[in-house]
Amino acid sequence: MAKEPGFAFAVSVDDAAAALQVISNDVTNLQYATPRGVQDVTGVDKSAIERLLLLADGSVTLNGVFNDAANMSHAVFKTVPSTSVQRTTTLAISGQSLSMEMLYSDYSMSRGQDGSLTWTAPGVLANGAVPTWS
């Protein structure tokens, strides 16, 4: 296995009609996490912490540049405030892929002093399926 840089991420997100759209070209950076809950179950008879792994979770925050072309980022996220739908979100790099059903809670835009127009869209796991790389 070779070490690789994070070049050439592919990012796809369902629009409100559940049609998967490739929006990689609009995404400038992203963060994702697949944490597990942890429960402290340390008894008074222990000298160190004892824990159990709990449920899996997933989250993603996509950041990008405004693009209102058909099937691109604005078309995908503009319905976040007005629809309550799960959106398949797929991250892929180097033949590896992570697909999660997400609920997006915001689609915020920022207009910079320099005239730049950017957006942020945070999503959280929606359906109870464990996020798994394939």
The mean per-residue pLDDT over the stretch 23-28 comes to: 97
CA dist 43 and 46 (Å) reads 6
Q: Write the DSSP assignment of 46-104 as a string of letters.
A: -SS--EEEEEE--EEEEEEE---STTSHHHHHTTTTT----EEEEEEETTEEEEEEEEE
Q: So what's the pLDDT on residue 1?
A: 62
Query: Please, what is the average pLDDT of the chain?
Result: 95
